[in-house]
Amino acid sequence: MAGEYQYGVFSLVHLLIVFIAFRLPSLAYTAAAIVLIYAAITAAGAFRLGRHYGLAVPVALIVV
């Protein structure tokens, strides 16, 4: 199982997100919740990377 589903088996953050999301009443809500969570994580990472490169806050928000 670990060979086929490496990211799902070894990522505690991913497992936590999936376990929480699958408690939602519908599969559409579950998919939307997972996408929104990962989009928020990606946006936060892009903002931090922009700030790390010395961009001002408004410009780092454009990076997102």
For the chain, domain boundaries: 6-63
The answer to whether residues 45 and 52 touch, using CB atoms and an 8 Å cutoff, is no
pTM of the predicted structure, to 2 decimals = 0.73
H helices present in 1-64, as ranges:
6-10, 12-21, 27-52, 57-63
Summarised one tens digit per residue, pLDDT across range 3-62 is 666 666 677 788 888 888 889 999 999 999 999 999 999 999 999 999 999 999 999 999
Task: Output the pLDDT for position 13.
Answer: 82
